[in-house]
Structure 1
Amino acid sequence: MGRSKPLALARIFTLAASVAAPGLVHAADLLPPPPMPLPPPPVEIGGSWYLRGDVGVGILDLRKTVVEDVSTPRVPYKYTAIEDHVGDQAFVGVGVGYQYNPWLRFDVTGEYRTQAEWRFLAEDRSYDTRGGYNLTTGKFSSVVGLANGYVDLGNWYGITPFVGAGVGFAHHMFGGVTDQGQGTYAGGLGYGRAKDNTNFAWAAHAGLSYAVTPNLKLELAYRYLNMGEAETGVVGCLPSCALKTVYRAKELESHDIKLGMRWMFGAPVVTAAYEPPPPPMPMAPLVRKY
């Protein structure tokens, strides 16, 4: 009788363990699967460099044309300006830049600007006479180089407003200058040789850019461009005379409207496609038979 009690207890414990085992297995099945590893981060190729291209039109203006007599001996030219006009230019440009951070970027640009018509009509008062006029005309084209900085002012649905400024040079190529006498000077004719001159230029920018893709951005912008002065060669009489004159178109200003594009080399490029591993298969419950 004393030996039967321990045997009975052992059988009770064995039966309890067999009943609880399937429950433990099912509880293990309810545990969440282990977290899947993260995909590799995107790889940036080329840093934040970009190429840019621009086309546009510039509406030109000038403060005034200054006329200087360079004869020997010098004869001061006294005149009253009647018409002082400069035409417009179209331009095309290219450049390279660097996106320093999400809101600050820099670039260096160069552009060619087409020929602009220049026209200056004045009454000659050098000899205290009236009714003698000189109509001087010519054309100049320009090459402009600028180093620019821009501040991007946030982003709304892919559109980013920006402002900027630039400094550089403007190289003017003046040619085709003729001087025609009118009024009491009718029949007089003068001619000026071509001349190039280079001077300081500066600009102020404002516009909008739109991200077409992570790599391609389009721009619509306004630019104020101050190109200094353009200078003619020495204008003399034909066939010859002692009078020689130089014309300087001072403070050439251009109000530019331009379309541009920027091709970014630093947009994220994802490495090989990532496929997560399959989840672990659930374990079959342990079943015991008695």
Structure 2
Amino acid sequence: MNRLVVAVLAGASLFPIAAKAADIIEPIPVVEETPADYSGWYIRADAGYVFSSETDGSFRYFDAYSGNYGDEFRYSSIELKDSYSLGAGVGYRWAEHFRTDLAIDYYDFDVKGRSDCPYSGGSGCRFNDSSKADLWTVMANAYVDLPYFGPITPYFGAGIGFANVSYGDMRNEICSTTCGDPNNYLGVHEGEDSWRFANSLMAGASIDLTHSLALDVGYRWTHVYEGKAFAFDAQDRAAGASGIQGRDNGFDIHAVRAGLRYSFF
């Protein structure tokens, strides 16, 4: 009985020691993760190589003898030669994988045109035309950034906006048999300027160079809708023609681009 009492008293004497030891061991603090801030403004600038593309169009025929407009004819081929593009924009990142921007791009094209003469009756008469075209696009774009692989972030996007197409004067050669013959008729048609709708699709990848600066490499397809191309030449205008003679049926722009994107975190 005495041994039991001694054991109980000894055990009771250990409780204050254990309590003091518990006071010495500090609780492990719980670290709450702060959500990453993915929002922020950015600016971008790029240059690109533009592949040649081809479309067609239509033109009105003016009969100088009767003073009346004839039928509307298909213009067989309008070719935009390969060229370059320059662009700049400002954007905002709304979330880790979503951003938007407003961009302005410039293109400079040499234009070649070919078509059969109206009412030629299989004589071989054809048009051999040349011009230039300056094109500006103003596009609102949205992008989805895919999960990244180290410093590389793939993305895809789409845009909608407007294009201003400004044709230079078109040199029109009517080839009866051989183009380039000094006896062929040469006319000059004043180029037209028009605003049109445009839309685009993009895909590419950005490569982080620093925390704020990234190299952006990608492909962009842009479709520019139909519009005015050229007016009647001086001979037709002198005979009474006026207004627009030729139109294009819109065209596609295929470009590979590389540029820099700077983010203001």
TM-score higher than 0.5 = yes
Cα distance in 2 for partners of 1:216, 1:157 equals: 15
Q: Number of paired residues?
A: 234
Determine if the alignment matches structure 1 residue 205 to structure 2 residue 199: no
Change in 2 beyond 3 A, CA 1:159/1:80:
closer
Cα distance in 1 for partners of 2:52, 2:144 equals: 26
- Please list the CA deviations of residues 120-175 of structure 1 after superposition, one character each: whole Å capped at 9, or x if unmatched: 22222425361322212111010101000000110111111111000000101101
Task: Tell me if structure 1 keeps the 8 A contact 2:164–2:196.
Answer: yes
2:216 aligned residue? 219
Task: Tell me if structure 1 keeps the 8 A contact 2:58–2:246.
Answer: yes
Give the deviation of 1:107 after TM superposition. 0.4
Determine if the alignment matches structure 1 residue 75 to structure 2 residue 70: yes
Give the deviation of 1:77 after TM superposition. 5.3
**CA RMSD, 1 decimal:** 3.2
2:226 aligned residue? 229
Counterpart pick for 1:87 among 71, 81, 86: 81
- Please list the CA deviations of residues 94-129 of structure 1 after superposition, one character each: whole Å capped at 9, or x if unmatched: 111010000000000011112x12122222242536
For structure 1, the 5+ residue unaligned runs are 1-23, 267-290
1:167 aligned residue? 160
Return the letter of the residue paired with 2:256: I
Return the letter of the residue paired with 2:80: V
Give the deviation of 1:260 after TM superposition. 2.0
Cα distance in 1 for partners of 2:74, 2:137 equals: 32
Change in 2 beyond 3 A, CA 1:149/1:136:
same
Return the letter of the residue paired with 1:86: L
2:10 aligned residue? none
User: How does 1:220-259 map onto structure 2 within 5 Å?
Assistant: 220-238=217-235, 242=239, 246-259=245-258
Task: Tell me if structure 1 keeps the 8 A contact 2:190–2:233.
Answer: no
Counterpart pick for 1:142 among 104, 110, 135: 135
Cα distance in 2 for partners of 1:111, 1:50 equals: 17
Return the letter of the residue paired with 1:211: D
Task: Tell me if structure 1 keeps the 8 A contact 2:81–2:110.
Answer: yes
Structure that is richer in strand per residue: 2
1:111 aligned residue? 105
Q: Does the residue aligned with 1:134 lie in a helix, a strand or coil? A: strand
Percent identity between matched residues is: 24
For structure 2, the 5+ residue unaligned runs are 1-16
Change in 2 beyond 3 A, CA 1:43/1:102:
closer
Cα distance in 1 for partners of 2:211, 2:54 equals: 41
Task: Tell me if structure 1 keeps the 8 A contact 2:58–2:72.
Answer: no
Cα distance in 1 for partners of 2:51, 2:25 equals: 69
Return the letter of the residue paired with 2:49: V
More displaced, 84-93 or 48-57? 84-93
Structure with more relative contact order (C-alpha pairs < 8 Å, separation 6 or more): 1
